[in-house]
Structure 1
């Protein structure tokens, strides 16, 4: 564990604020984010919505350390996240559910959950957290010995969220949780997100399904071509004529 993580763990409160200021990032010569400012307070559910190619996944990759910003500051609980390696984030209380789930298909459901509890501090709580995941997702309990690659899309998403919860996070990053799922399954996934946040977990979710995400978050940012185009409460954005016309198909 790096000195930065050790210091953060000893000094960070049980719940912390995520703050991004002037974040710029890209891939080689391609600029994906242009001066993004974003804040997520403890206990909040915040959404980042926008079309394909807006930079939503890039934004989460920057927060989780998979992509280093070229400019700007990124802090969680007052500590600089750019000094933290991606594999050290669970020790700070941050878990990332990536786009397309990224499960280990040849491992069982329970083995995937065990991977989520790989950190030394999480291993001691494996049984307790596994049982909590199974209470949130009873379907996973039924399929605990089934290979993850044989699950349905909705079940795989449940397993991916469950794996992230195994580290005992305070901040959960969700990347396009509704992608590729049938409408009825999308509703189930968002109902589970609502339940998770009602239990006090801080959630940052990036999503194309604007109508669904605005029902479960407190606030949202609209990201367009790498820039924040609008921000506000979910109610205010849902009532905004431009948002209704562009993203909700309403006039």
Structure 2
């Protein structure tokens, strides 16, 4: 996910504030633009989700974008939110340079462990990858993110879903007023700039985009045996589904063979 972004993509601006006297970090963004490109992506690839599952994936996209905006610029994150009931995986991933998030649902062949799991994978330049996994309660995605912060990040964090696709995340910094943080309600958030001293730290931009192409799927195909590759291209074309965003590509065998010959040379 490192190539340049298309200028045609709709940008969601996320603003990061320090809440003075409360020692908390507040990040917020209005996700209408990002969701618009998400729905265009679904239409382009003929993907349809039940309304409830669609809302859960959208919450996951907002959650990881807010998380990324609060993290170092070179951090890449991927979350798999395994929900026990209904049984599904919500996968979301992204980075800040460029500011890109994407994701998809998995509803088939999902492992049922009897409880819900939140699995986070994080990579940074010149650092060892990190992975953490927690169990969480309920099926609300934003609540799952809060539980991940509490158990894995050990930072009390609240997330709020407001009208007009506006989302807010507030996380405790050292010496934070945790009692104040825990007392916040949905009705408090729109008035925070009146009741609290907010200092703007930075602004980051994110879009919905995977950056995948048929050719970027070829390394996945190349790991198959020659017999399996022949089977995949049995009709002269292969149908490849992106594991990150569920985009569907139909590509001829000649394109794959040409890519492989370039790689071998």
TM tier, smaller: under 0.3
**Under a length normalisation based on structure 1, what TM-score does the superposition of the two structures give?**
0.26
* Bigger radius of gyration: 2
- Looking at secondary structure, tell me which structure has more strand per residue: 2
